[in-house]
Structure 1
Amino acid sequence: MKLVVIDDHPLVRKALVSLLSNSDIEEIKEISNVEEAMSIIVKDTPEIAMIDVRLGKENGLEIVRRTKEMKLKTKFIVLTSFISQEEFLKAEEIGVDGYILKDAYPEDILYALSVVRRGKKYYDPAITEKKEDNLINTLTSREKEVLNELGKGLRNEEIANNLYISEHTVKKHVSSILAKFNLNHRSQIVCYLNEIKIS
């Protein structure tokens, strides 16, 4: 496997290369900026590129966007020090294959590589937990109450009775929750709640 490490910090690049050199990767190249990265990706089409979002004054996601537009087959794993909801959502939107924090254990980084190499997505658990927290925080206090009742498997009529509101109001809140969570059915809400803890 050919791999490119794209980061503007030499120490980070050296540490990653040292870690990955003990794996089955046959070739690792180091890049520090967008134009060099695009040149290497177009020329060599590495299987995976590990990329920092913040490359000095440049944005590493620009490399992903341009590569996707050119329909090249390189997969991308964002390796970053910061959890930015805006950057994470943008990375998801343009088709990043993995997202992991730089303070992850070496074995987690190697695991992320193996997952992405098999054609699947990998997101650092710390990032997905933050995303879930942010989704919950978009709800109003009443929507959170309705969400908790949905988690008990209650019908709209039962929720209305428990919260002393009309069934019509419950339906409106359920529709709003579905929209905010980008879900289609209330059964998906129950599945979602089984995976996280609502405070």
Structure 2
Amino acid sequence: MPPGPRAVLVDDHEIVLEGLERALVREGIPVLASFRDAESAQEFLRGSEVELCVVDLRLGAESGTDLVRAIRSLRPQTRVAVLTSFEDRAAVAAAVDAGATGYFLKDASSGELCEGLRRVAGGQLVIDARLVSAVLGDRPRPLTESDVAILRLVAEGLSNREIGARLHLSPHTVKEYLSRTMRKLGTRTRAETAARAAQEGLLPPVL
């Protein structure tokens, strides 16, 4: 088995952290650090290269979604997977907009979870089948500032690589943003997505 992605775990329950770390290490995914609060995790990430973060959406008084957003801002190359319970479907939908690309229920088997985490670290979107409706639901969601910035450059005819260079993102990250925006708008192509956003007033006019 190839070496797994270097991971950081965040959960406010110590016993959950210990069990999760044992499961990942057993499956060949090295755990660099585990944290029980968002602030400590962010401080670690400021000085460390990490391929994968696994975040519990319920972090006591803190917001797991806010942490996902902070991680994506601090480390755009780091993939973020969230762990949740079935009752947290609204929080999962929020995590989509925050930039997570892995969505797993806490009752998943360790084998399923670790296989999914490897795929997330490799750049894939992985969703527990029971959460698909929450993640890819039909309800409209507003575009983020990053979505709009990327769509403006798409409308100018720039490639993913050119957009990434302009916005200091990797081409793969640009592709992920575009894929997420297409899901929001129900479109299939880059041109259709930019046109739909402009038509619905979601893409401000270029001044």
* C-alpha distance in structure 2 between counterparts of 1:11 and 1:120, whole Å: 29
Specify the SS of the correspondent of 2:8. strand
Q: How far apart are 1:130 and its partner, in Å? A: 5.4
1:22 alignment partner in structure 2: 26
Normalised to the residue count of structure 2, the TM-score between the two structures is: 0.61
Instruction: Give the CA deviation at 1:22.
Output: 1.3
SS of the residue aligned with 2:83?
strand
CA, structure 1 residues 116+34, in 2 after alignment: closer, same or farther (shift >3 Å)? same
Judged with a 3 Å threshold, the aligned counterparts in structure 2 of structure 1 residues 184 and 81 are, in CA distance, closer, same or farther, namely closer
1:69–1:11: structure 2 CA closer, same or farther, 3 Å change rule? same
Closer/same/farther in 2, CA of residues 12 and 69 from structure 1, 3 Å limit: same
1:4 equivalent to 2:8? Answer yes
Aligned structure 1 segments of 4 or more residues deviating by more than 3 angstroms: 129-132
CA distance in 1, matches of 2:98, 2:91: 11
Kindly, what percent of the aligned residue pairs are identical?
26
Q: Secondary structure at the match of 2:29?
A: coil
Equivalent residue pairs, number:
141
Gaps in structure 1 of 5+ consecutive residues: 137-180, 186-199
Please say if residues 99 and 122 of structure 1, whose CA atoms lie closer than 8 Å, have aligned partners that are also in contact: yes
Letter of the aligned partner of 2:131 in structure 1?
I
Q: Deviation at 1:24?
A: 2.4
CA contact (8 A) 1:75 1:116 kept: yes
CA deviation digits over 1:22-44, x for unaligned, max 9? 12223431100010010111111
Question: Are the aligned partners of 2:79 and 2:101 in contact in 1 as well (CA < 8 Å)?
Answer: yes
CA 1:38–1:184: 2 relative to 1, 3 Å: closer
Residue 186 of structure 2 is matched in structure 1 by 183
Question: In angstroms, what is the RMSD of aligned CA positions?
Answer: 2.4
Amino acid at match of 2:97: E
Which residue number corresponds to residue 89 of structure 1? 93
